[in-house]
Amino acid sequence: MAILEVKDLKIYFPIKAGLLNRTVDHIKAVDGVSFQIEQGKTYGLVGESGSGKSTIGRGIIGLEKITSGKVYFNGVDITSKNGKEIRKNLQMIFQDPYSSLNPRKRILDIIAEPLRNFERLTKKEEIKRIEELLELVGLSKESMMKYPHQFSGGQRQRIGIARAIALKPKLIIADEPVSALDVSVQAQVLNFMQDIQKELGLTYLFISHDLGIVKHFCDEISIMYKGRYVEQGTKEEIFNHPQHIYTKRLLSAIPDMNPSNRDKQFRIRKKVQQEFDQRYHDYFDSEGLAYSLKPISETHLVALQEDVQKVR
C-alpha cells in the first residue's frame, strides 16, 4: 500500500480586485494533481518557479488550505486535518537553512521542540535523544549548547534534518533542501539524506527544480507545469524516453558536463524549441495548460491530447 496518496488535489488562491476587494478569480496553484508514493521510496517533484510544486508539499502538511481533493496517509484521510499522529509521521525540511532555524534558540531547544510537543520525556531522556540525533546527523554533543549562527550552511541543514527526524517520522517532505547550498555541501547533505533513509526506512517527497539532483536521488519523478502534471514515470522513463515537450525542454536545458557536447546540446535545444513552437497545441490547451494525464505504460503517464495519443 502506498504510504502517501494524493487524489485530484486542488489548491487555489483567490485574486482580489475591485473596490470592495472581492474575489474575482483564482490562481490555480495546484490544479488536479494525483500521485502515490510507496513506502521507502523517493518521489521527485520537479518544476520551475511558480509551477506549484512547493504548494503541493505545503498543502499535504497542512500549511496551505486545500481547495478540493484528498490526501491519504497510510490509507487514512488526512486532508486538512492536523491530528497529532499525522504531524508526528510527516515532517518537512525547508530550503533555506539560514532562515528556517530560530537564531535565538540553542540547537538543543530547536531539536527538542517537536519532542516537547509530542512526547513526554524527562530532561535526561530528552538530552539522550538529542545526543543520539546529533550523532546521527554527524554533529558533536557539544553542538547542543550552540546557536545556529555558529554553524555552516550544510551543518544547519543537518540540524534542520535532525529536527525533522526527531519523532521518527515515516515521510519527509523535502522542499528544495539543497538549493541554497554550495556544490560540495550539497553532496554532503544528499549523501546524508540517503544514509538516514536506509537507516530509518524513510520515504521522501523530494521537491526540486534541479533535474541533475533529482536524477541522482529519486526513484520516481513527476514534472509539473503551471499547477498540473505534464509527465510522470520512473527515472528511466523520464530521462530516457521523455514524451511531453515540456519535459524535453527541461531536459535539454540541463547544462552538459562534457564540453565536447556543447554544440550538440545547442542543436537539441533549438530543435526542441522548434517543436515547442510548432506543436504547441498538441501539448497545451487553449489556456496554455497541460491536458490530463494518459497512461502510455504501467508507470509512465503523459499529458497528451486524446486524438494525438490515438495517432501514436
Partner 1 sequence: MSNKLLEIKNLKTSFYINDGYYAAVDDVTLTVNKNEILGIVGESGSGKSALAFSVMGLHTRAKMEGNIFFNGKDIVNVSKSELNKMRGNEMAMIFQDPLTALNPLMEIGAQISETFILHRPTMTRRERKDRVIELLKMVGIPRPEYVFSQFPHELSGGMRQRVMIAIAIANQPKLLIADEPTTALDVTIQAQILDLIRELKATIESGVILITHDLGVVAEMADRVAVVYAGQIVEIANVYTLFKKPLHPYTRSLLHSVPADGQDKLHVIHGIVPSLKHLPREGCRFAHRIPWMDASDHEENPILHEVEPGHYVRCTCYKNFSLQEDESKEA
Partner 2 sequence: MWKFIVRRLVITFPQLILLSVLIFLLAQAMPGDALTGLVDPNIDPATIDEQREKLGLNKPWYEKYIEWVGGVFQGDLGQSFRYKIPVTDLIEERIVNTFWLSVATLIFTYMIAVPLGMISGRYNDTILDSSITGYTYIGFATPLFIFALVMLWIFGYHLQWFPTGGSVAPELKPGTLEYVLSRIQHLLLPALSIALIQTVSTVQYLRSEIVDTKQKDFIITARAKGASESRVYNRHILRNSLLPIAAFFGYEITTLITGTIFIEQIFSFPGMGQLFIESVLQRDFSVVNAVVLLFGAAAIVGALLSDIILSIVDPRIRIK
User: Does the footprint of partner 1 cover residue 265 (CB under 8 A)?
Assistant: yes
Task: Pick the binder of partner 2 from 18, 75, 255, 259 (CB under 8 A).
Answer: 18
Q: Whose CA is closest to 85, among 169, 205, 1, 160?
A: 169
User: Does the footprint of partner 1 cover residue 49 (CB under 8 A)?
Assistant: yes
Nearest distance in Å: CB 252, partner 1: 7
User: Does the footprint of partner 1 cover residue 304 (CB under 8 A)?
Assistant: no
Spatial distance between the Cα atoms of 305 and 312, rounded to a whole number of angstroms:
11
Task: Pick the binder of partner 1 from 116, 262, 279, 281 (CB under 8 A).
Answer: 262
Query: Amino acid identity of 188?
Result: Q
User: Does the footprint of partner 1 cover residue 234 (CB under 8 A)?
Assistant: no
Scanning 16-24, 29-37, 106-114, 300-308 for contacts with partner 2 by CB under 8 A, the matching segment is 16-24
Spatial distance between the Cα atoms of 138 and 162, rounded to a whole number of angstroms:
10
Spatial distance between the Cα atoms of 102 and 163, rounded to a whole number of angstroms:
12
Query: Amino acid identity of 46?
Result: V
User: Does the footprint of partner 2 cover residue 257 (CB under 8 A)?
Assistant: no
Cell of 162: 535532525
Task: Pick the binder of partner 1 from 149, 191, 287, 312 (CB under 8 A).
Answer: 191
Q: Which does 19 bind (CB under 5 to 8 A by kind): partner 1, partner 2, none?
A: partner 2
Spatial distance between the Cα atoms of 44 and 222, rounded to a whole number of angstroms:
6
Asked if 155 contacts 70 with a C-beta cutoff of 8 angstroms, the reply is no
CB closer to partner 1, 265 vs 292: 265
Task: Pick the binder of partner 2 from 19, 183, 257, 311 (CB under 8 A).
Answer: 19
User: Does the footprint of partner 2 cover residue 27 (CB under 8 A)?
Assistant: no
CA-to-CA separations, 256 to 115, 176, 249, in angstroms, rounded: 44, 22, 14
**Residue whose C-alpha cell reads 520537479 in the numeric block:** 46
Nearest distance in Å: CB 19, partner 2: 6
Nearest distance in Å: CB 79, partner 1: 30
Q: Which residues are registered as beta bridge partners of 14? A: 26
Q: Which does 266 bind (CB under 5 to 8 A by kind): partner 2, partner 1, none?
A: partner 1
Residues in the chain, how many? Answer: 312
Task: Pick the binder of partner 1 from 97, 154, 227, 233 (CB under 8 A).
Answer: 154
Treating both helix axes as pointing N-terminal to C-terminal, what angle do 153-165 and 123-136 enclose, rounded to 10 degrees?
130
Please report, as residue ranges, which positions from 102 to 141 form the binding site for partner 1 (by CB under 8 A): 138-140
Scanning 17-25, 55-63, 132-140, 283-291 for contacts with partner 2 by CB under 8 A, the matching segment is 17-25
Question: What is the DSSP code (8-state) at residue 96?
Answer: -
Interacting residue ranges for partner 2, rule: CB under 8 A: 18-19, 21
